[in-house]
A and B are shown apart, each in its own frame.
Chain A
Amino acid sequence: MAIEVRVPTVLRKHTNGEKKVTGSGHTLRELVEDLEIRHPGLRGALIGEDGQLRRFINVYVNDEDARYLGGVETPLSADDEVSILPAVAGG
């Protein structure tokens, strides 16, 4: 199944400048592993050494923040849209 993933400007250095890439997987983790094959560096930008989503990005499955769905284990269906946005923070 092909899942479309929207990539923020700050990560497009890993996708040859592409704003949208396609991958497959039954979970977010599998999708990211699949994307890493064609877009090396993307996995490291999204998933930390603890195996969880990095705090400075937000990954959405449709309109929901994956942190509230299951993190990297969030299940995916064929017509899901995955979007990655930077987290916006400061102090």
Chain B
Amino acid sequence: MTSAPIDGYLDLDRATYEAIIAHAQSDPHFEVCGMLAIDRGQVVRHYQIPNAERSATFFRMDSTAMKRPWMEIEDNDWGMVIYHSHTHTEAYPSPTDIKEAAHTPGAVYLIVSLQDADAPVIRGFDIIDGKVTERILYVDGEEAPAGRR
């Protein structure tokens, strides 16, 4: 399992955590994507956005569907989390993820892995200037399973 220096944490409530996993499992052969809005440490919005590429190895947020959620997050000064799933690879940013993150500075990235279909994993990262650091994910106060670090 690929690791990155740990820097910071992210709190999720269990309902959101399970909803993200359910979203990934709802279309397990293609990458899914979405956003969370964070206000004062709490998830206040969960937007599921269609993957316009409909690919097992690539995602691109449907531009029309993402517009209002993106603007709502910015207009309210909420924190932005961008998530997507990896259908058969680990929950770690791919080279493409790292490259594309340059266009969305300030977001925290969650990756859901369905590599082990019985034990989906979500891990959280910051990607700044091409450098990946990991946030410890807490779900209702408990550290989320991330596999061996």
Contact = CB atoms under 8 A, between A and B. Distances in A.
Interface of A: 6, 9-10, 56-58, 60, 63-65, 67, 83, 85-91
Interface size on B, as a range, is 20 to 34
Nearest to B105: A10
Given A85-B71, A87-B63, 10 more contacts: A58-B63, A83-B67, A88-B66, A88-B82, A88-B100, A89-B53, A89-B59, A90-B33, A90-B97, A91-B100
Contacts, number: 70
Contacts of A91: 31, 57-59, 94, 96-97, 100
A52 B104 CA distance: 21
Nearest to A19: B74
A73 B59 CA distance: 27
Interface of B: 31, 33, 49, 53, 57-61, 63-64, 66-68, 70-71, 82, 84, 93-94, 96-97, 100-106
| Interface secondary structure of A, over-half rule | strand
A65 B68 CA distance: 12
A83 B71 contact: yes
Contacts of B102: 10
A85 B49 CA distance: 15
A90 B100 contact: yes
A87 B103 contact: yes
A91 to B, nearest CB: 4
A9 B101 CA distance: 13
Given A9-B106, A10-B103, A85-B70, A90 B58 contact: yes
B97 to A, nearest CB: 4
A65 to B, nearest CB: 4
Contacts of A64: 64
Nearest to B84: A90
